[in-house]
């Protein structure tokens, strides 16, 4: 059954004539792990194990976004029947760094899993950019690739929601979408 589904995905062309790409996330431990992205490795896609938890436990993490076009997407997914995912999104100019958490929304124990995508999106070029390069109207620029860190994600683990961001690291406390305490840029109650 699964083999047939995967073969259909690979064989089905998209609008652009390419088969869809299925990314498989890397498993992560929640023990203070740190993940970085650079221009050489512009994406990290992670997932945690499955947890049987309720709304009193939170997944504590912090991040730093150091360049334009860098973003962090954090998903809290309920795995039981009728479950869905909630997204927390952080982008560079508005959110450069902070300490936050992912909180399950069920008061009784349920199965949850967490996903993280830390990435730098590619540069968008104009419609006629490649034509201008071929005609010599636009010089090619040498892209410098370095190992300079442009994004950082620290996963601290599951803690009681009352103790989130109390590690004494001096990070800005941001809140969470799932319980309505998330900040929204300069207009936030946390940034006043």
The 10s digit of each residue's pLDDT in 56-105 is 998 999 899 988 889 999 999 999 888 889 888 888 888 888 888 888 88
For residues 24 and 28, give the distance between their C-alpha atoms in angstroms, rounded to a whole number.
13
Q: Report the pLDDT averaged over residues 162-184.
A: 68
SS3 36: strand
Domain 23-120+129-187 coded CATH 2.60.120: yes
pLDDT tens digit string along 54-69? 989 989 998 999 888 8
- What's the CA gap between 59 and 107, in Å, rounded? 16
- Provide the 3-class DSSP secondary structure of residue 161: helix
Render pLDDT for 36-54 as a digit per residue (tens, 0 to 9). 988 888 888 999 999 999 9
Give CA 109 to chain center in angstroms. Answer: 25
Strands 26-27 and 70-78: unpaired
pLDDT at 11: 46
Alpha helices in 12-160 (DSSP H): 129-134
pLDDT of residue 30: 80
Per domain, the residue ranges of the chain are 23-120+129-187
């Amino acid at each position: 059954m699964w083999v047939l589904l995967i073969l259909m995905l690979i064989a089905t062309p998209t609008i652009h004539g390419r088969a869809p790409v299925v990314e498989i996330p890397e498993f992560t431990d929640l023990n203070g792990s740190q993940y970085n992205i650079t221009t050489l490795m512009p994406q990290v896609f992670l997932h945690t194990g499955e947890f049987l938890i309720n709304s009193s436990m939170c997944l504590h993490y912090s991040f730093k976004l150091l360049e334009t076009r860098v973003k962090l997407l954090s998903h809290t997914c309920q795995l039981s029947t009728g479950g869905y995912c909630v997204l927390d999104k952080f982008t560079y100019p508005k959110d450069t760094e902070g300490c936050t958490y992912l909180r399950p929304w069920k008061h009784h124990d349920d199965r949850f899993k967490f996903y993280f995508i830390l990435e730098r999106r590619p540069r968008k070029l104009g419609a006629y950019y490649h034509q201008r390069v071929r005609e010599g109207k636009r010089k090619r620029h040498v892209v410098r690739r370095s190992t300079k860190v442009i994004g950082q994600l620290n996963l601290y683990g599951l803690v009681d929601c009352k103790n989130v961001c109390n590690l004494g690291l001096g990070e800005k406390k941001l809140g969470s979408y799932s319980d309505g305490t998330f900040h929204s840029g300069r207009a936030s109650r946390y940034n006043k």
